[in-house]
């Protein structure tokens, strides 16, 4: 739900939506804060078919930025690891979307002069 859609809702509707979001909020155990990447690569062999456009792959990676422009990358090996990596990133993104909705509802309630109870 966008910020403008939230602004059109009544205060009661906002509070009810926030309650539903909080009740549905679960913390999946396999969260992964990373990007899921699919890559096709060229090798170093001069006569390989990858030099004519048919690259090697796909290879699947998890990539994460750390402090001071450092990057960590993990090559996922095997279908099980690929599925777990993809799902962990999706779960993390879903959690962020839910938290962002709750944050915007709180923003709108404060903008209206409402108090935010400690729930």
pLDDT digit string, tens, across residues 68-93: 888 899 999 999 999 999 999 999 99
Q: Helix 79-111 to helix 11-24 angle, to the nearest 10 degrees?
A: 150
Q: What is the pTM of this model?
A: 0.80
DSSP type of residue 48 = S
Strands 35-41 and 71-76: unpaired
pLDDT at 119 > cutoff 70? no
DSSP type of residue 38 = E
């Amino acid at each position: 739900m966008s910020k403008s859609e939230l602004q059109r809702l009544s205060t009661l509707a906002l509070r009810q939506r926030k309650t539903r979001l909080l009740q549905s909020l679960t913390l999946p155990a396999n969260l992964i804060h990373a990007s899921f990447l699919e890559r096709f690569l060229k090798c170093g062999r001069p006569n390989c078919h990858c030099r004519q456009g048919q690259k090697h792959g796909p290879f699947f990676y998890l990539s994460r930025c750390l402090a001071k422009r450092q990057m960590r990358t993990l090559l996922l090996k095997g279908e099980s690891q690929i599925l777990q990596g993809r799902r962990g990133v999706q779960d993390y993104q879903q959690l962020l979307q839910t938290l962002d909705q709750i944050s915007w509802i709180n923003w709108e309630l404060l903008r209206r002069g409402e108090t935010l109870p400690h729930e």
